[in-house]
Structure 1
């Protein structure tokens, strides 16, 4: 079924409603999806169990004993009319800083074991992504990757895994192909970049993103013993703004001690992200966001 804005709605049995917004991914489109998903959650419709936004679509899961998925057609149409374009999007969210050791020894050792699955048989992932994006040095790549915040657009695959796009003009977006064949090993907390998306691997396992560093802090804490995970074992949520902060090995080791002693606290601040203001002057708006992050 096609909605008035061109989105396509379909049903998955008695439990799911799937809405495909576009056939391509874009930052404005992903943020419009996030606004619609948040609004559907705010309606608190009886029987709606989950509203799951992604980069070009979203899905609603219902309890069929309490909610007929066909009854959601009108509420969905209403929210699509409410958020006609991306310029109408304003997200009540927060900005959070993640300390990252770029060019770390653990991901470097890992990626060099898998060059037979990679586009380049001699460069490590950081060197490769630096070259294909036209940066003069890995330091220049790190400065670009950490200079502007990212926004989480898709919670995916395993708990804590969150894909995010950088809040920069399209011509500044860092792009990287995934591995030709996925690795069978990735260090826990590795920072990867694939396509236009960055993510931190919450646990050790397989992966296909280019690895550029390692976070000193977790994004998933099943035990919920770290203060920032007291209410939820998953750190990120759709719409969260993430700023990667480069650190050296000494600070990485110091932060790891704080984490292991269960006393580390993330630097985080609540913010209102207004897409129209961002699109008007992206880099100036980012400076405003970072000022909010570091405000007392």
Structure 2
């Protein structure tokens, strides 16, 4: 088993205008920890520097997007700032404060099971459930072993988007240990809110009911989006997980699911959240040991 993560050498970034008031920067054509950590670092530094004219900063899996006021900031000046910033940042020395969030999941739950069975004609393997199919193509002997692998290592929130409040997370393990599954052949027209799905190498939690094409693994009793900001942990933002946060997916049973859901609906549930100074270099050197230290900050 690999004890470290192989570093990815990134090519030169691609800088593009996005209309009159956006700049898009592609760091790599494929997702890697190096690309995402660089996107995290640069966008965090942009926020810290509080440049005049910057309206919104949005990191993504291997890129980032900046929304700015062209009346205050010329896009060419912004691009020059971004190029200089990239030269300054050394991921091996960079750190950021990351929240580690306990994220309970009822795997193989009745709600996503009912939905997936309605749409078997849109799936690669109509005779299997999504979990059975995903376990088989990833070489696991059973669904239980596959669930243990999915919940066996924390996952970094690499971006939030596509629909409001949807966190994309990437399992913090060497590439050869990462789970990979394709999306449905044809998307579903229905997915329960709070469904935990998987597509490519990313876990995604659907914040609300809607269409979707990711393989369905389970459902969480907690919210990732609270528009009315009624829950205590949403006081500062209607979206809980932010890029750079770490989710620790934890397998629960129906009894715990119902108990947590009751607290959420009563507006009293408080998330189990710890904080760490995330150090990419230490993670690259010993991901398994570093992951163990990450999860120790949870009560």
TM interval, short-chain normalised: over 0.9
Output aligned runs, 1:116-265, within 5 Å.
116-265=121-270
1:114 aligns with 2:126: no
Alpha-carbon offset, residue 88 of structure 1: 3.5
SS in 2 for 1:164: strand
| Corresponding residue number in structure 2 for 1:6 | 12
1:18 pairs with 2:24: yes
1:9-158 correspondence to structure 2 within 5 Å: 9-84=15-90, 86-158=91-163
Secondary structure, counterpart of 1:147 in structure 2: coil
Report the Cα offset of residue 235 of structure 1. Answer: 0.8
Aligned residues: 290
Q: Which runs of 5+ in 1 are unaligned?
A: none
Structure 2 CA distance for aligned equivalents of residues 89 and 179 of structure 1: 38
Shift of 1:5: 5.9
1:130 is paired with a residue of what secondary structure?
Answer: helix
CA positional deviation for 1:69:
1.6
8 Å Cα contact 1:7/1:20 also seen in 2: yes
Deviations 1:77-96 (A, max 9, x none): 12110225x42432211100
For normalisation by structure 1, the TM-score amounts to: 0.95
Tell me the C-alpha RMSD between the 2 structures: 1.3
Aligned equivalents of 1:231, 1:185: Cα separation in 2: 30
Residues of 2 paired with 1:277 and 1:17: CA distance?
32
Structure 1 contact 32–89 (Cα < 8 Å) conserved: no
Which residue in the other structure is 1:270 paired with? 275
Question: Helix, strand or coil for the counterpart of 1:92?
Answer: strand
Cα displacement (A) at 1:65: 2.0
Q: Any stretches of 5+ residues in structure 2 without a counterpart?
A: 1-9
- Alpha-carbon distance in 1 for matches of 2:277, 2:170: 17
Q: What secondary structure, in the 3-state scheme, does the structure 2 residue paired with 1:9 have? A: strand
Higher mean C-alpha deviation, range 14-23 or range 99-108: 14-23
Q: Distance in 2 between matches of 1:230 and 1:278?
A: 31
Q: Tell whether the 8 Å contact from 1:14 to 1:68 is kept in structure 2 after alignment.
A: no
The TM-score with structure 2 as length reference comes to: 0.94
